[in-house]
């Protein structure tokens, strides 16, 4: 009997020290932040947060047609970024949960200032992950956050939250993550291109009205914490041929001012040769691609397509390089190759050009040669004359 009583007291004591689940929280106890916008005007920071219902982030197979997910947008101001975030907590009604932050968008005012101040606050916050996408915009950030996706799909299935899907299908300016921006901040000779988002109307519509969607229309070139210059998509034509992140891009084939076909360009391979001649830097680029003929509008041969494609790619590479040099910007980040091979020479060239703070010691004559080779693998389902 005494043994049974002793066991009962032991079990009762164990029950008393068990914490149980009295403080457990469910997804309904949080507001999930999926995107954050940062603006800077008149010495004050303004932040915007995009909130989504956690249940909306999955697929909506059972949702009725036309039922779109709700998006809430919060706004707050402060003398510093951290102060603005904390002021937002006062009106958030529930805990803001940052672990699902997928994108950070800088306004033009913010990105043209020294954004190193932003990157001091953001990485210190443990809930924000370094794989967040980074964008810029000239649109009102609150408007940008209102538009999600087609149909009744997950609201994170769009360009803002998942740009890699579209980039794999049609590559232009590659999307960039926060960890890359932070890593390159301390790298000499590195230039990051921050994709710029715009709102596009009257290109898509449903059965009721036109639908506004997101599109990339260029990028700001970020160097040493500043992105003073915006480059349009046309000015950045050559980026896709130089970056190894390109998966697939299309190239119109023109002859005598007429379109004769289209090609897909795949798998870029790049070799950079940096030489110092007479105290001046000279660069030679060797680019090689796989080409697929997708459309033929005239009776042209594969060799003619190859020659035109190589010439057009070379011209675009040089044109983009010169567009950057006009603003003292090394768009391709070519200086890093010299810095890694010969940092002493890089430092002396930088000092001589007076570009220690901002700008590049490269000029329009520094890109001495661009060799392009396009290997045509096939012409789709139809044969083509060589």
In which band, very low, low, confident or very high, does the pLDDT at 348 lie, cut at 50, 70 and 90? confident
Ramachandran category for residue 202: left, alpha or beta (phi over 0 → left; psi -120 to 50 → alpha):
left
What the block records as the tokens of 16 is 């008393």
Residue, of 54 and 351, whose pLDDT is higher: 351
In which band, very low, low, confident or very high, does the pLDDT at 28 lie, cut at 50, 70 and 90? low
What the block records as the tokens of 93 is 């009604």
Using one digit for the tens of pLDDT, what is the confidence trace for 122-171? 777 777 888 899 999 999 999 998 876 666 666 677 888 899 988 999 99
In which band, very low, low, confident or very high, does the pLDDT at 13 lie, cut at 50, 70 and 90? low
Using one digit for the tens of pLDDT, what is the confidence trace for 235-269? 999 999 999 999 999 999 999 999 999 999 998 99
pLDDT of residue 182: 87
What the block records as the tokens of 144 is 């940008």
Q: DSSP characters for 235-277?
A: TTTTHHHH-TT--EEEEEEEETTEEEEEEEEEEEEEEEEEEEE
Position 178 pLDDT exceeds 60: yes
Q: Are strands 192-205 and 95-97 parallel, antiparallel or unpaired?
A: unpaired
């Amino acid at each position: 009997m005494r043994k049974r009583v002793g066991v009962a007291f032991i079990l009762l004591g164990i029950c008393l020290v068990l914490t149980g689940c009295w403080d457990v929280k469910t997804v309904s106890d949080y507001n999930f932040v999926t995107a954050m916008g940062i603006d800077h005007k008149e010495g004050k920071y303004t932040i915007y947060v995009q909130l989504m219902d956690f249940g909306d982030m999955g697929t909506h197979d059972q949702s009725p047609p036309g039922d779109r997910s709700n998006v809430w947008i919060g706004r707050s101001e402060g003398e510093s970024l951290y102060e603005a975030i904390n002021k937002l907590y006062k009106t958030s009604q529930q805990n803001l949960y940052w672990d699902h932050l997928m994108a950070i968008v800088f306004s033009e005012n913010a990105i043209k200032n020294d954004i190193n101040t932003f990157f001091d606050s953001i990485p210190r916050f443990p809930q924000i992950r370094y794989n967040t996408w980074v964008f810029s915009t000239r649109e009102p950030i609150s408007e940008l956050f209102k538009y999600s996706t087609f149909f009744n799909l997950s609201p994170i299935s769009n360009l803002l939250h998942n740009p890699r899907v579209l980039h794999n299908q049609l590559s232009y300016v590659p999307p960039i993550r926060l960890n890359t921006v932070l890593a390159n901040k301390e790298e000499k000779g590195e230039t990051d291109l921050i994709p710029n988002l715009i709102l596009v109307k009257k290109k898509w519509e449903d059965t009721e009205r036109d639908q506004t969607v997101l599109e990339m229309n260029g990028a700001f070139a970020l160097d040493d914490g500043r992105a003073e210059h915006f480059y349009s998509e046309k000015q950045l034509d050559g980026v896709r041929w130089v970056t190894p992140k390109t998966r697939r891009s299309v190239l119109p084939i023109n002859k005598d001012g007429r379109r004769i076909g289209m090609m897909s360009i795949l798998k870029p391979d790049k070799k950079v040769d940096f030489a110092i001649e007479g105290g001046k830097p000279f660069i030679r680029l060797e680019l090689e691609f796989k080409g697929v003929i997708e459309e033929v509008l005239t009776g042209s041969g594969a060799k003619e397509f190859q020659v035109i494609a190589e010439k057009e790619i070379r011209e675009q590479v040089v044109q983009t390089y010169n567009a950057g040099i006009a603003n003292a910007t090394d768009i391709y980040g070519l200086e890093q190759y010299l810095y890694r091979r010969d940092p002493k020479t890089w430092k002396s060239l930088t000092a001589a050009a007076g570009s220690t703070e901002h700008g590049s010691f490269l000029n329009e004559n520094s890109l001495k040669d661009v060799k392009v080779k396009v290997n045509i693998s096939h012409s789709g389902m139809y044969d083509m004359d060589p």
